[in-house]
Structure 1
């Protein structure tokens, strides 16, 4: 991951900053309780979380006919939960640092379909973009691209 965001800073500084970030994230996870779980329990928790999110998305998908985007809690447009879920799903699919999460997400067609429909439809992308960036400064297609 050092070849991405921190690639413009010198390598020794990348290592130093990386260790600081790792330590801080580890401390936060420990404080939240998830960092205290053994590896096997963390894997079970990760699977259960994605399974429950998939069930929620699958139920929402049933309520919308056709191929357009659908929203997690129903309704005509996205809410903050849609922005959050879209971000988590896409990051799990494209993050090379955690291929396990990406593999789990890929086993749930409803999750991939949910993110794909939002990505594929300009209306859905515009709605998500407005929630994520109220000034619409970023072009979502340019930054997300086609990763799944």
Structure 2
């Protein structure tokens, strides 16, 4: 489909930098794995079909389609044969494992991270000013306060807002350590196959090719490394050697044009 044009709206006008949203980088990594060309653009939640970042504008011979939600976008592009199914070769149990890893991050860790970024009295201002960077300051204060109250309500309803700070930290670190242990096993397998000395990428499920969960894991880890609104979690992640090896190799292979995080 040579007439296809894809624009990815990332929320920020920073075409050579990672953004703080794990879902943006997740989708971006998915596109790069398929070597599918795209144009990065800022966009805004106001213009997004679902009111959230990321979203795309896809121009084909059939017309222009706007779509939000990283999972729905991936499925739509696959239906047009612009992306292949990374999990097509997996067994049923491996597919379930892949889906479970994505859910662990997207449906659990995400909300603990939200609490750290938005509800912590110190982190709130860094998060607000980054997310609302395009909004004039007086209005930013008002909107930031609304978002804060909304997140308090959301997290309370989910149960995340009812835990103590210490309990939230323990839950977050439990997830990060589970990923670290899994990646350590995958790195060991790569070393056994002679791949480690070449600094090739290794993948979450231990295979020689990435699966869908790798895009989610890379999105969440890279987001944690570039965001300044979650310094405690960032410090913890930087101390996980297999995880850092995992994201560094992916960066070198697929995102070498991007400014890298500090370690």
Shorter-chain TM range is 0.7 to 0.9
1:147 aligns with 2:261: yes
Runs (4 or more) in structure 1 with deviation over 3 Å come to 1-5
Higher CA-based Rg = 2
Counterpart of 1:4 in 2: which secondary structure?
helix
Shift, 1:71, TM fit: 0.9
SS at match of 2:182: helix
Higher share in helix: 1
Alignment of 1:43-122 (within 5 A): 43-64=169-190, 65-66=195-196, 67-121=199-253
> Where do 5+ consecutive residues of structure 1 fail to align?
126-139
Q: Distance in 2 between the 1:53 and 1:36 partners?
A: 25
Give the aligned partner of residue 150 of structure 2. Answer: 24
Q: Structure 1, residues 4-55: CA drift from partner, whole Å, max 9, x if none?
A: 3423321111112212222222222222222110111111112211111111
More strand by share: 2
SS state of the match for residue 71, structure 1? coil
Task: State the match for 2:33 in structure 1.
Answer: none
Unpaired stretches in structure 2, ≥5 consecutive residues: 1-125
Q: How many corresponding residue pairs?
A: 130
- Calculate the TM-score normalised by the size of structure 2: 0.46
Distance 1:74 1:28 in 2: 36
Q: Deviation per CA, 1:67-90: give whole Å up to 9, x if none.
A: 100110133322221111111111
Q: For the residues of structure 1 that align with 2:157 and 2:233, how far apart are their CA atoms?
A: 22
- Normalising by structure 1, report the TM-score: 0.78
